[in-house]
Structure 1
Amino acid sequence: MPALAACARLPTTAAEADQIHALLLKSGLPRSTSGVYASTSLARVYLRHGRLGDARKVFDGMPDRTVVSWNVLLDGLVRAGDLDAAGELFAKMPERSVVSWNTVIAGFARHGRAEEAVELFVEMTSVYGLAPDEATMAGFVSAVRGIGLLGLGRSAHGYVVRRGFSLDGALGVALIHMYTRCGSMSSAYQCFSTVITKNVEHWTSVIGGFAAHSHPEMALKLLAEMRQLGVEPNGVTFVAVLNACSHGGLVDEGFKHFSLMRSMGIRPSIQHYGCLVDLLGRAGFLEEAFDLANSLPGDQGFVTWSSLLAACQSHGNIDMAEVAARKLADAEPSHGSSYVLLSNVYARAGKWEDLKRTRSRMEERRVLKKPGLSWIEVDGSVHSFLTADKAHAESEDIYCMLEDLKPNLISAGSDPEPFVLPEV
């Protein structure tokens, strides 16, 4: 069945896949050795067209399955975001290759279940004794980034160096991302410098890191260096660059690079316009930011209006904040950010009745905002906490230490007292 295998690689329509499936069933081929190969190819076709249910039917109809057959369906479940089903399938696999482990580790890391990805990596290496390859380490490093374990990330990097793995591909990008996420820009840049053949993703990762950590000059310097070396930035790169300009208050530079992006044939996305709104808003140009946000299509308003509302909060512009909040609520009725940000604006201005009405609307619409979660790594262990959290066994000692640190924070120019909304 080489023709069917070719169909899995070429852009086959869903209708053609159905016809091939019918021919397979009529011929009775699925029950033969070559039929396993053909059915696996057919499952790939269905998965490429997003027809997970049909792919599962093909898989379930195979009396004998190879590890490749299992991996094809496993990859399809992970790509579809059905991690629970992927986990169940993985547990049933009679044989797991390194590719199988790589699929679940990377998938769980990518879909926000980083701790489970780390546990899978430990199981793979410690329980089953399998040696991770470059793809394994890329997924594992992404998981480490997700939970912010810098120490574990450094250990992973050390293993990569000892094994002589190349950083020219996804693994190098993952390491740079991990270091930037964990706040170690010196390590991120050092890792970036050791990459022999840097692609656009390497450059974008390190530029985005410097942008996020408020080093706009370095981000712009790297962009210029990138272009001099003949690596063309893409739309994601320019999102990072515009963020750098926004955090640095570099309004002229931001619009200069936005124009550069367009001259390079890159079509601006809502993320780029959101960066411009944020750039103008942070710099205090609220009217200009409002006009830009208002000129964009209504179905793309969440990013821009949330940026403007945050700027209104910072600059205390109540009238514009109310308009931005209405626009944001229209764009995302179930999202709580518009109500929370508007509540903060009213509270800072002492408008308690308006604050009370806003909270009442939240309750009426049953809009909930998940509390922010922070974490810190101490001696290799991650401790997570909420605002005013007292769940930790040593919380009393922790708060005593924070009280002792207050004078030092004040002398350094920081305000340790959080702004807390009063009960109304």
Structure 2
Amino acid sequence: MGSPHSSRLVFESFPYPDSFMYGVLIKCNVWCHLFDAAIDLYHRLVFEKTQISKFVFPSVLRACAGSRERLGIGEKVHGRIVKSGLDEDNVIETSLLCMYGQTGNLSDAEKVFDGMSVRDIVAWSTLVSSCLENGEVVEALRVFKCMVDDDGVEPDAVTMISVVEGCGELGCLRTAKNIVSWNSLISLYANKGMEIEALSLFRQMVTRRMRPDSFTLASSISSCVSDGLVRLGKQIHGHVVRTDVSDEFVQNSMIDMYSKNGLTDSACAVFGQIKDKGVVTWNSMLCGFSQNGNSLETINLFDYMYRNCLEINEVTFLAVIQVCSSIGSLEKGRWVHHKLILCGLKDLFTETALIDMYAKCGDLNAAETVFKAMSNKSIVSWSSMINAYGMHGRIGSAVSTFNQMVESGTKPNEVVFMNVLSACGHSGSVREGKLYFNLMKSFGISPNSEHFACFIDLLSRSGDLKEAYRTIKEMPFLADASVWGSLVNGCRIHQRMDIIKAIKKDLSEIVTDDTGYYTLLSNIYAEEGEWEEFRRMRSAMKSLRLKKVPGYSSIEIDQRVYRFGAGEEPCFGTEEIYRCLRNLQNVTLEAEYLQTNE
């Protein structure tokens, strides 16, 4: 349909636009949620006494439905429809029904419905939805019963979901007697993150001796991704094996369930048993490896798919690009980017992932090239580019990109501001950090714990520890370990043990599963020789069953990534690298000795 501004320019270029042209421009404005502009055009059309075609009215009624304050205008439009003899047009009748329902006038909506010559599934669904939107759940269920029992209309998925929501709100299943109803409710609960309720319904089905179909099983398995529910997932898996009710959806759900619970071996076992694997199945296993940090397995699986000319889509590329980003494999990332272009599959998600990958692999120029070539930029795309500049200490570019984003009409969210604050932290730009931290409220965003932690870290690293402490005390909620940890780290950098001692009571009240917090404090106490406090921190970690996460570094040589971690077995070439480092150390010492004696 194009932009409203461009459409308006074309429209105004005609000296005598007809009703059809008005209708197109009104519809364009409605699609862009410019309801007032659409209504103004309708009034202009009426004023010019041009004969109004039936094509115009549904869009105008949709504009009136956008707000309850426009009910009066909608009623006048209804009057003109009656005068024009178009009140029996099925599309216009449904639009009237929708307008009255969405503006809260349920009685008039029912009058329109009762007077309709043809009541199709769209009309019934609209009335059911209108009842639910106005809080009339019982009335919605009564309408649904009339639709099925009196008119014999077969409900579609939209109507069924609406009714199931009504059943859920009433806490009953009296109307849900067949497998479709049960499946709809289980799917609804699963999609809303109500896993326990979804699985409870599945158990009720089995108890009532109803035979679950593949849709039931897939939805129920998908609900077993939370902690503690994997055991139920395994039981449903056993049910699938016993009853042999399985298809691609069930198998993919099992791969996803096991992967999200960290059981990649079980996911692989299910994957290996599938004979005819579609692209969704391959992607499920690919994403499973990626989510669990199995980078090499992800890349190997992608290479196998590519070598064997298997079907590959955007999801496939997205998973492998994210892996290249996580392990810093620039050469492999470039190769994947090249294949993505050859396949002609790039989209908004893969392009944004490429920006992140190039930035994290050190090629900021490539990240900029991808970003500038994007025809459409989402808020995630803007945020990724801001984050890329921040990683490389380019605070000026990060701020400039933020300003461009705002000027383009994209409203920044919590993540964007987090990336801007992070960019300020990387470059030590305290003034800019304060500016953007305070700017959040102007966009209706309240700083969360992560924003405060980033801001406190910026202040603490710069040495403004008093301001950091004052900010913590003025927080609208209790500071967590990440916030206090930022202040403690600043105290360590500037050797202000006096402040750490002053906030000792605050620190002792923190309980967290963040190993970094306990490790930071224990290291500080060890450096100061406060062994009692050191042992207390280590004891707290032990009681919470926390272990220090070892650090590691990685380097890419000849398209292969080598990882070096504390306490790990030496990898290929390690001895040679250490020998080279020792030689460099000797050369450095020799140079220092010669310089001193000169």
Q: Does the alignment pair 1:115 with 2:293?
A: no
- Which residue matches 2:260? 79
Tell me if the contact between 1:376 and 1:383 (Cα under 8 Å) persists in the aligned partners: yes
Tell me if the contact between 2:186 and 2:219 (Cα under 8 Å) persists in the aligned partners: yes
Q: How many Å apart are 1:229 and its aligned residue? A: 0.8
**Aligned counterparts of 1:102 and 1:328: Cα–Cα separation in 2:** 45
Q: Does the alignment pair 1:200 with 2:370?
A: no
The answer for unaligned runs of 5 or more in structure 2 is: 1-178, 593-598
**Aligned counterparts of 2:270 and 2:479: Cα–Cα separation in 1:** 38
Aligned residues: 400
Distance 1:298 1:323, change over 3 A: farther
**Aligned counterparts of 2:534 and 2:206: Cα–Cα separation in 1:** 60
Q: Please, which moves more after superposition, 294-303 or 316-325?
A: 294-303
Matched residue SS, 2:555: strand
**Aligned counterparts of 2:452 and 2:201: Cα–Cα separation in 1:** 45
Matched residue SS, 1:374: strand
* Structure 2 residue identity aligned to 1:222: T
Q: How many Å apart are 1:200 and its aligned residue? A: 0.8
Q: Please, which moves more after superposition, 276-285 or 253-262?
A: 253-262
TM-score, normalization by structure 2? 0.59
Matched residue SS, 2:276: coil
- Percent identity for Structure 1 against Structure 2: 27
Q: Does the alignment pair 1:166 with 2:166?
A: no
**Aligned counterparts of 1:29 and 1:22: Cα–Cα separation in 2:** 11
**Aligned counterparts of 1:88 and 1:190: Cα–Cα separation in 2:** 41
**Aligned counterparts of 1:343 and 1:99: Cα–Cα separation in 2:** 47
Distance 1:50 1:70, change over 3 A: farther
Larger RCO: 1 or 2 (CA < 8 Å, sep 6+): 1
1:216 to 372, 376, 395: 395
Matched residue SS, 1:95: coil
- Which residue matches 2:211? 29
- Which residue matches 2:561? 382
2:245 to 39, 43, 64: 64
> 1:13-412 to 2 correspondence within 5 Å?
14-15=196-197, 18-19=200-201, 21-23=203-205, 26=208, 29-30=211-212, 35-44=213-222, 51-62=229-240, 63-126=244-307, 129-168=309-348, 170-296=349-475, 300-323=479-502, 327-328=506-507, 330-332=509-511, 337-338=516-517, 340-342=519-521, 351=528, 353-354=529-530, 356-357=531-532, 359-361=534-536, 368-386=547-565, 391=570, 392-403=574-585, 406=588
**Aligned counterparts of 1:374 and 1:339: Cα–Cα separation in 2:** 22
**Aligned counterparts of 1:198 and 1:133: Cα–Cα separation in 2:** 21
**Aligned counterparts of 2:359 and 2:424: Cα–Cα separation in 1:** 18
The answer for unaligned runs of 5 or more in structure 1 is: 411-424
Distance 1:309 1:94, change over 3 A: same
Q: Please, which moves more after superposition, 394-403 or 313-322?
A: 394-403
* Structure 1 residue identity aligned to 2:311: A
Tell me if the contact between 1:301 and 1:328 (Cα under 8 Å) persists in the aligned partners: no
Matched residue SS, 1:394: helix
Q: Please, which moves more after superposition, 37-46 or 70-79?
A: 37-46
* Structure 1 residue identity aligned to 2:252: N
Tell me if the contact between 1:149 and 1:380 (Cα under 8 Å) persists in the aligned partners: yes
Distance 1:124 1:196, change over 3 A: same
**Aligned counterparts of 1:313 and 1:84: Cα–Cα separation in 2:** 43
Q: How many Å apart are 1:143 and its aligned residue? A: 1.0
Q: Please, which moves more after superposition, 41-50 or 392-401?
A: 41-50
* Structure 1 residue identity aligned to 2:368: Y
Tell me if the contact between 1:141 and 1:178 (Cα under 8 Å) persists in the aligned partners: yes
- Which residue matches 2:92? none
**Aligned counterparts of 1:182 and 1:27: Cα–Cα separation in 2:** 56
* Structure 2 residue identity aligned to 1:66: D
What root-mean-square deviation, in Å, do the aligned CA atoms of Structure 1 and Structure 2 show? 3.5
**Aligned counterparts of 1:74 and 1:2: Cα–Cα separation in 2:** 25
Q: How many Å apart are 1:362 and its aligned residue? A: 5.2
* Structure 1 residue identity aligned to 2:313: D
* Structure 2 residue identity aligned to 1:132: I
Matched residue SS, 2:575: coil
**Aligned counterparts of 1:292 and 1:78: Cα–Cα separation in 2:** 41
Q: How many Å apart are 1:274 and its aligned residue? A: 0.7
**Aligned counterparts of 1:40 and 1:260: Cα–Cα separation in 2:** 45
Q: Please, which moves more after superposition, 112-121 or 375-384?
A: 112-121
Matched residue SS, 1:266: coil
Distance 1:149 1:404, change over 3 A: farther
Tell me if the contact between 2:224 and 2:257 (Cα under 8 Å) persists in the aligned partners: no
* Structure 1 residue identity aligned to 2:444: G
* Structure 2 residue identity aligned to 1:114: S
**Aligned counterparts of 1:114 and 1:397: Cα–Cα separation in 2:** 29
Matched residue SS, 1:375: strand
Q: How many Å apart are 1:218 and its aligned residue? A: 0.8
Q: How many Å apart are 1:295 and its aligned residue? A: 4.3
Q: How many Å apart are 1:387 and its aligned residue? A: 6.9
Q: How many Å apart are 1:240 and its aligned residue? A: 0.4
